[in-house]
Copies of this chain bind each other. A is one copy, B any other.
Amino acid sequence: MAAEKITSRSQDYSQWYLDIIHRAGLAENSDVRGCMVIKPNGYAIWEKMQRALDRLFKDTGHVNAYFPLFIPKNFFQKEEQMAEGFAKECAVVTHYRLRSRQGKIEVDPEAKLEEELIVRPTSETIIWNTFKNWIQSYRDLPLLLNQWANVVRWEMRTRLFLRTAEFLWQEGHTAHATQQEAEDETRQMVEVYRRFAEEWMAMPVLVGPKSEGQKFPGAVYTLCIEALMQDGRALQAGTSHFLGQNFAKAFDVTFQNDKGQREFAWATSWGVSTRLIGGLIMTHSDDQGLIVPPRLAPIHVAIVPIGKTDEERDQTVQAAERLAQALRDLPRESFFDYEPLIVRVDKDFQHMPGFRFAEWELKGVPVRVELGPKDLAQNACVLARRDMGKEGKQLGVPLTEAPARIVTMLKEIQSSLFAKARAFRDRSIHQANSYDEFKKKIEDGGFVMAHWDGTRETEDRIQEETKATIRCIPFDRVKEAGQCMVTGRSSEGRVAFARAY
């Protein structure tokens, strides 16, 4: 493998991002416009994310199900805002057969569908159309469902993981007997996302509602988790929508309450997607390559035996294999989602140790073990942390103690990555007290906390003039009366603006 250089972040952040994805084997563009191939190293991260999220969903009472990929066109007619929000960018199936004519494959004009089908951009409509048959009485509620699926939105400008025509996600859809219960669910799920972002991804987030201008089409309101990338741009990382009775009314989903009256059901939906992988990369990685927090790492430990002679190599490989097995045999624990540690022994003696170390760094493996003849003579090894340079190395670690030390190190890396990302995020939150100050600060990146009058017009004007949007109205913002930086009208607290992905 030729060691192509990764563009440095300071030189070109966008190119650095693509270089990481390319060199770490995470994904690539396919020959299908806007659709990506998620390569094994990228998909392995998604699998870890899925496992952790799925457990969090199940622990909060949700079950998985699967609904059709296709949505009849008329379903979009039923919920106006949805049609507005999604109809402009969707894949439309119009025929159900190809035919061969003079050696050319072509669409069979006789196999035209009576009604066109849309490849789901999101599944509220098909699911609420189904709920109609599932919900009769308050005893049938709540319905707490989740679906792992692919969805398609015909994006014009795409970027790997962050914005692609097809992507993978989970979409939760719940139905409730009362508004309060649905609102509690909306809040609970954004809190699940916050926990996942912070405790698994080690990615700090702001949590709170979106403004009207940024909410989901069809929602009464949208809660979100909002992260900050290293280049100072924000990333919407997950959303949880309170849908009110909009979909129940559109699809006529009523239930008999405990007083015998018919009522429309209350709805939520919430989702995160493979976009999180983009967020993960841009939160932690550096100019040497990918950095993955241990709880989501597809490979936890790479052991690199070193030797010049065949005998040295045999002996260090054997010791490496024994250590690997000891690590795999450790009791399963909740920190690692009850999965065994994944350990690789690197037998690539064709390359120099420095090259091999760099390859594991590039791939983001949290802990590297170096094991040469001199180490082995002392029954010891060297532990190296991906998130630190030489100062993070532990020399002369006895092999018998290595498994426990490695587990401790993995846990330290997890919390250290979070602390580092949080410190960066916190020092990237600025305040602006005038529109001029805002315009200057927004150029420097990060979140800019400013007063806003709560109207859509002002929000739109700010976006037009500065390319910044309201990312989040944080739950934990300080209550502080003020005046909108643009109109001077009264405001009850600052909101978080940023330029975003």
Interface residues of A (CB under 8 A from B): 28, 30-32, 35-40, 43-44, 46-47, 63-74, 76-77, 83-84, 87-100, 104-107, 116-119, 126, 129-130, 133, 145, 149-150, 152, 154, 166, 168, 332, 338
Tell me, in angstroms, the Cα distance from A306 to B393 when the chains sit together: 61
Q: Is there an interface contact between B93 and A91, defined as CB atoms closer than 8 Å?
A: yes
Given the contacts A74-B105, A87-B97, A93-B92, A68 and B116 also touching, CB distance less than 8 Å: no
Q: Is there an interface contact between B94 and A90, defined as CB atoms closer than 8 Å?
A: no
Given the contacts A37-B66, A77-B104, A98-B92, A32 and B71 also touching, CB distance less than 8 Å: yes
Residues from chain B with a CB closer than 8 A to the CB of A63 are: 40, 43-44
Residues from chain B with a CB closer than 8 A to the CB of A89 are: 96-97
7 A-B contacts (beta carbon < 8 Å)? A73-B98, A77-B104, A89-B97, A91-B95, A92-B98, A98-B118, A332-B338
Given the contacts A64-B43, A72-B31, A88 and B77 also touching, CB distance less than 8 Å: no
Tell me, in angstroms, the Cα distance from A43 to B63 when the chains sit together: 9
Smallest Cβ-Cβ distance to A156: which chain B residue:
B96
Residues from chain B with a CB closer than 8 A to the CB of A152 are: 69
Residues from chain B with a CB closer than 8 A to the CB of A105 are: 73-74, 76-77, 83, 87
Q: Is there an interface contact between A90 and B96, defined as CB atoms closer than 8 Å?
A: yes
Q: Is there an interface contact between B98 and A87, defined as CB atoms closer than 8 Å?
A: yes
Given the contacts A166-B70, A332-B338, A126 and B40 also touching, CB distance less than 8 Å: no
| Given A32-B126, A37-B130, A43-B66; 4 other pairs, CB 8 A cutoff | A31-B130, A70-B166, A92-B97, A94-B94
Q: Is there an interface contact between B65 and A40, defined as CB atoms closer than 8 Å?
A: yes
Nearest Cβ on chain B to A476's Cβ, whole angstroms = 35
A-B interface, 9 closest residue pairs, ranked by CB to CB distance from nearest: A35-B68, A38-B66, A40-B63, A87-B98, A92-B95, A32-B68, A96-B154, A94-B94, A91-B93
Q: Is there an interface contact between B100 and A145, defined as CB atoms closer than 8 Å?
A: no
Tell me, in angstroms, the Cα distance from A68 to B94 when the chains sit together: 19
**A44's contact among B64, B76, B100, by CB below 8 Å, is which?**
B64
Smallest Cβ-Cβ distance to A77: which chain B residue:
B105
Q: Is there an interface contact between B104 and A96, defined as CB atoms closer than 8 Å?
A: no
Q: Is there an interface contact between A67 and B107, defined as CB atoms closer than 8 Å?
A: no
Residues from chain B with a CB closer than 8 A to the CB of A106 are: 73
Q: Is there an interface contact between A92 and B83, defined as CB atoms closer than 8 Å?
A: no
Tell me, in angstroms, the Cα distance from A233 to B419 when the chains sit together: 61
Residues from chain B with a CB closer than 8 A to the CB of A133 are: 28
Q: Is there an interface contact between B37 and A68, defined as CB atoms closer than 8 Å?
A: yes
Q: Is there an interface contact between B150 and A32, defined as CB atoms closer than 8 Å?
A: no
Q: Is there an interface contact between B73 and A47, defined as CB atoms closer than 8 Å?
A: no
Tell me, in angstroms, the Cα distance from A166 to B76 when the chains sit together: 21
Smallest Cβ-Cβ distance to A74: which chain B residue:
B105
Nearest Cβ on chain B to A122's Cβ, whole angstroms = 15
Given the contacts A65-B39, A92-B93, A100 and B117 also touching, CB distance less than 8 Å: no
**A67's contact among B30, B117, B129, by CB below 8 Å, is which?**
B30
**A69's contact among B43, B98, B119, by CB below 8 Å, is which?**
B119
Q: Is there an interface contact between B77 and A64, defined as CB atoms closer than 8 Å?
A: no
Smallest Cβ-Cβ distance to A83: which chain B residue:
B105
Tell me, in angstroms, the Cα distance from A37 to B332 when the chains sit together: 35
Q: Is there an interface contact between A90 and B83, defined as CB atoms closer than 8 Å?
A: no
**A91's contact among B84, B96, B166, B168, by CB below 8 Å, is which?**
B96
Tell me, in angstroms, the Cα distance from A378 to B84 when the chains sit together: 66
Tell me, in angstroms, the Cα distance from A76 to B107 when the chains sit together: 12
Nearest Cβ on chain B to A363's Cβ, whole angstroms = 13
* Max count, chain B CB within 10 A of own CB: residue among A44, A83, A105, A150: A105
Q: Is there an interface contact between B99 and A87, defined as CB atoms closer than 8 Å?
A: yes
**A65's contact among B31, B43, B67, B150, by CB below 8 Å, is which?**
B43
Q: Is there an interface contact between B96 and A35, defined as CB atoms closer than 8 Å?
A: no
Given the contacts A94-B107, A105-B73, A126-B30, A100 and B116 also touching, CB distance less than 8 Å: no
* Max count, chain B CB within 10 A of own CB: residue among A63, A69, A83: A69
